Amino acid sequence: MGVGNVLRQDDGVGVYISTRIKESERIKSLTVEVSLENYLGKINSISPDILVILDCVDMKTRPGESALIEPGKTSDNTFNTHNISVSKLAGFFKFPSCIMGIQPLSIDFGENISYLVKEEADKIIQLINKQEVQNGY
């Protein structure tokens, strides 16, 4: 699930990734941008084995660094660019979820993702799409 505001530079990285994932029988992609709560029913109806929330997260690390994070391990919000925090969102699901967080360089107004964040996002996209090819899907 790609989360973020595409008008706030690196905050759009979750959307950037989710729109480039090749869907298959095993992997579905949903782009929700900033209105996470509007997709709760759809996500629950899909009932995935695991939900990976793709978003920029201030982890106090170098820009472009990524990490899988348990939803309860994040602060109550990432950058106040969402209507609901991803940590609270995870509580609405009956299946496991995690956050694939990417440290932003900037969330100022603008439509371009910074080079370091885009480079890491492209690696993540490549890994997800390569996984499908390796598993014969």
pLDDT at 55: 93
What is the CATH number that goes with domain 2-134? 3.40.50.1450
> What digits encode the pLDDT tens for the residues 27-77?
999 999 988 888 888 888 888 999 999 999 999 999 999 999 988 776 654
Residue spans of the domains in the chain: they are: 2-134
Q: Tell me if 22 sits within 8 A of 34, measured CB to CB.
A: no
Q: Is the Cα dihedral 62, 67, 73, 76 positive or negative?
A: positive
Q: What is the model's pTM?
A: 0.87
The pLDDT value recorded for residue 93 is 82
**Among candidate residues 120, 80, 116, the one with its CA nearest the CA of residue 100:** 120
Q: How many CA atoms lie within 13 A of 62 on its CB side?
A: 4
Q: Which residues contact 132 (CB under 8 A, 6 or more apart)?
A: 22, 24, 26, 27
Average pLDDT over the chain, rounded to an integer: 87
